[in-house]
Structure 1
Amino acid sequence: MRTAFFTLLFSLVTISANAAPLPPAARAEVDALMTRLQSSGCEFNRNGSWYSGAEAKAHLLKKLDYLEGKDLVKTAEQFIEKGASTSSASGKAYLVRCAGKASVESGQWLKAELQQLRAVRAASSPR
């Protein structure tokens, strides 16, 4: 019994040691995207229900934690594709709906926001 416990403990430590967080630059981009989503005033549709940007951010950060734990993401694009575009429960695409505009798939919305973030960063970088 004791050996089984230590074997299980060692396995869990080994698994968590192999998990890697996003590289700092990618994490900064994801954090910026989540902040934009939260403060956008847009709504987020998940499995047929609409949620606030703050609720969407909380949900997507949980998915990010899961993906990082499995070492499945290394870039903001991978996070968008693997965690922020579709429901892992239903397979349905997530949607974003902003005031006065038609809803769009969250992957499309997040990729456009990521391009804007990168353009602003490039424009403000010293040359």
Structure 2
Amino acid sequence: MNPTRAIPGLALALALAAPAQAAPSAQAERETEQLIQALAGSGCKFERNGSWYDANEAQAHLRKKLAYLRKRDLADTAELFIERAASESSLSGKPYHVRCGGGAATPAAAWLRARLVQLRNAKPPSPATPPSP
């Protein structure tokens, strides 16, 4: 068999075998942003690799991790963002934690999943009432 004839067929087979990645939906983008904003505005502390950071530092860190994943089409849902970026250190594998006020530390994944449920259960704002004629 001629090797140069096999290359186009091999390239086509590889292209068909690779799963197509879709960009995150508008809802996934919105939910992920709302989760990051919820953490940033929470006043809670965020622990990673044994050190505690304020909420602004935490959101900056998670935004960097999200950007890394988005470039690789690996965070197209809020759940994947939580799982792949906001649950544990990609370097050490140690779980992240959130501590609010004087409360106990909670795994960051659980904290963010609870916020996601709250976001999804919140009623959207009702449209403004149109003026009477």
TM above 0.5: yes
What is the aligned partner in structure 1 of residue 56 from structure 2?
54
Change (3 A) 1:89 1:81: same
Note the aligned Cα RMSD (angstroms).
1.7
- 1:104 shift after superposition: 0.5
List per-residue Cα deviations over 1:45-98 (Å, max 9, x = no partner).
Answer: 010000011100000010001101111121000100011000001000000000
What is the aligned partner in structure 1 of residue 74 from structure 2?
72
- 1:32 shift after superposition: 0.7
Corresponding residue SS for 1:31: helix
List per-residue Cα deviations over 1:17-49 (Å, max 9, x = no partner).
Answer: x98653221111111111110110100001000
Q: Counterparts of 2:21 and 2:70 in 1: how far apart (Å)?
A: 6
Q: Counterparts of 1:32 and 1:75 in 2: how far apart (Å)?
A: 13
Q: Counterparts of 1:20 and 1:54 in 2: how far apart (Å)?
A: 30
Corresponding residue SS for 1:22: coil
What is the aligned partner in structure 2 of residue 43 from structure 1?
45
- 1:100 shift after superposition: 2.4
Contact 1:20 1:69 in 2 (8 A): no
- 1:124 shift after superposition: 2.9
Q: Counterparts of 1:60 and 1:103 in 2: how far apart (Å)?
A: 18
TM-score by length of 2: 0.75
- Paired residue total: 107
Identity among equivalent positions (%) equals 50
What is the aligned partner in structure 1 of residue 124 from structure 2?
124
What is the aligned partner in structure 1 of residue 129 from structure 2?
none
